Amino acid sequence: MGQKNSYSNYSFEAEIEGNVDYDPNFDLDEYIRQKSQPQNNAALQPSLTEEQDNSQFKNAVLIFMVFAAAFLWVNDWSVSQAWNSVFGGEETAATAPSFEFVVPDIPEVDIPDVPAPPAPGAESGFVDYLRALEEAGLADAYSNSGNIAMYQSGVPIDYLLQMDEAGYLVDFSYSAIIGLYNGDVTIDYLDQLNNAGYLDEFSYSAIIGLYNGGVTTDYLDQLGSAGFLDEFSYSAIIGLYNGDVSISYLNELNSNGYLDDFSYSAIIALSSSDVPVSYLDQLRDNGLLDNMSYTDIIMAYNADN
């Protein structure tokens, strides 16, 4: 122990400088051990102190963060509101931003009405129609598809009975019956055509056209007598009749060879414009007729008259 304490005031630098006497019993190892032990303790002490300071700082930061989070939670997580509640401000409460949501228009969807199921017995209309045909003895006159078509077209049983009594039911198909009924062709007009011998000369569509065009059997007789009935279609006959084209004008055109040179619409226009056949002869004699349409002829005639 005495030796250990003897090194407590010893300095190697002092010995070098000559401030202390040289000690022949000087133990260098013991001197180094004594010098190193206080230095290690001194080095460890700041490290421990620094570690304690860091731990205290972290604890302070953690406490602050917990306090700040709790404070913000109380103030609805509004930093500005928390600031104003602590330090004051012009606004005592923060105004939450407003967001406008535009709700798009919902398109209207048209939902079709679902038809109600047919009531019991609703299909009996056609059954009644068939029963009436059976009672009238007409159930076998046409096929089932024909009966359905006549039923859907509204052809009454009475009209079929009239056609049958007049003897025309066997002359026309069910589609002809439907057309004649919807065309308002009377049994009397059919009788006139039949008595004049024209019923078999025209189709049912021609008969409908002639009836609605007001063409009389007398005009048909005149055309037939002049030999023109086969020269014109039923649409041409309707046009000639309604255009007041006389049989004498047709005869004169035919006699001079013009009947086949003009359409029925051209004949109607020439007759309505009072263009005489003699004027056509004059144009032909001068070599002009072949280069002129019927409208040119009418314009030339009106220019001279």
pLDDT digits 0-9 by tens, 79-114: 555 545 544 554 444 444 443 434 334 334 333 343
Q: Does residue 16 register a pLDDT over 60?
A: no
Which of the listed residues 87, 114, 145 is the one where a domain comes to its end? 87
* Pair (194, 78) in one structural domain: no
Cβ-count burial of 249 within 10 angstroms (0-12 exposed, 13-18 middle, 19+ buried)? middle
The predicted pLDDT at position 305 comes to: 83
Number of domains within the chain: 2
Q: At what angle do helices 79-87 and 28-74 cross, to 10 degrees?
A: 100
- DSSP classification of residue 19: S
Average the pLDDT over 171-177 and give the result: 94
Q: Average pLDDT for residues 267-290, to the nearest whole number?
A: 95
197 and 295 inside one domain: yes
Question: What pLDDT digit, counting tens, does each position of 28-78 carry?
Answer: 666 666 666 554 444 445 554 555 556 666 666 667 665 665 555 555 555
pLDDT confidence tier of residue 160, bands split at 50, 70 and 90:
very high
User: What is the model's pLDDT at position 97?
Assistant: 43
Sequence-separated (6 or more) residues with CB below 8 Å from residue 172: 163, 180, 204
Would 104 be classed as within a structural domain? no
Q: Going by C-beta distance under 8 Å and a sequence separation of 6 or more, which residues neighbour residue 212? A: 183, 184
- φ, ψ at 177 (rounded to 5°): -60, -45
187: in domain: yes
Task: Find the domain containing 41 and state its range.
Answer: 2-87
What is the reported pLDDT for 103?
35
33, 52, 87: which is the final residue of a domain? 87
Share of the chain above pLDDT 90, in %: 57
Q: Is residue 236 part of a domain?
A: yes
Q: Which residue bears the tokens 């009947």?
A: 259
pLDDT reading at 197 higher than 50: yes
Find the range with the poorest average confidence among 65-74, 95-104, 200-209, 232-241: 95-104
Question: Who wins on pLDDT, 125 or 24?
Answer: 125
159 is a domain residue: no
Q: Considering 55, 87, 119, which residue would you say is the last residue of a domain?
A: 87
Would 72 be classed as within a structural domain? yes
Calculate the average pLDDT of the chain: 77
Q: What pLDDT, on the 0 to 100 scale, is given for residue 13?
A: 55
Would you say the pTM of this structure is higher than 0.75? no
User: With contact defined as beta carbons under 8 Å apart, do 269 and 295 qualify?
Assistant: yes
Tell the residue number behind the tokens 């049989």, with chain if given. Answer: 247
Q: Is residue 106 part of a domain?
A: no
The better pLDDT of the pair 10, 288 is held by 288
142 domain-assigned: no
Asked if residue 149 is part of any domain, the answer here is no
**Structure token pair of residue 203:** 């189709």
